[in-house]
Amino acid sequence: MGPKNKIDIEITSDGWKIDVTVDGKTYTEHHEMSDEGCFAKCVEGNLETAGIPDPIVYALDGFFCFDCVRALRECE
C-alpha cells in the first residue's frame, strides 16, 4: 500500500501554512497576515503552480484560512 495523500493546515493569529502530500511528495504554501489583518502575503510556495491535482487546488482556494486568522485575532 502506497503513501496516503493528505492535507495539513496550521493556522495561527500570524497566518497559515498548508502542506499537501500527493503520491509521497509534499508541497508547502505559507501565508503571513498583515498587522492590520486586511490582507495576507504568500511567503513560501505556490500550490497553484506546484503541479498538484486541480481538485485539491480548488478545494483550498477560498477564504477559510483568512477568516480563521481573523477570528483568532479577535480572541486575543
37 part of a folded domain? yes
pLDDT attached to residue 38: 77
Burial (0-12, 13-18, 19+ Cβ within 10 Å), 4: exposed
pLDDT attached to residue 12: 96
Number of domains making up the chain: 1
Q: Tell me if residue 7 falls in helix, strand or coil.
A: strand
C-alpha cell at 76: 486575543
The residue range of the domain holding 65 is 6-74
49 part of a folded domain? yes
Task: Report mean pLDDT in 10-residue bins for the chain, 76 residues.
Answer: 86 96 95 85 92 92 89 93
1 part of a folded domain? no
Beta carbons of 56 and 7 less than 8 angstroms apart: yes
70 part of a folded domain? yes
Q: How far is CA 57 from CA 18, 21, 49, 66, 76, in A?
A: 11, 12, 9, 16, 31
pLDDT attached to residue 2: 65
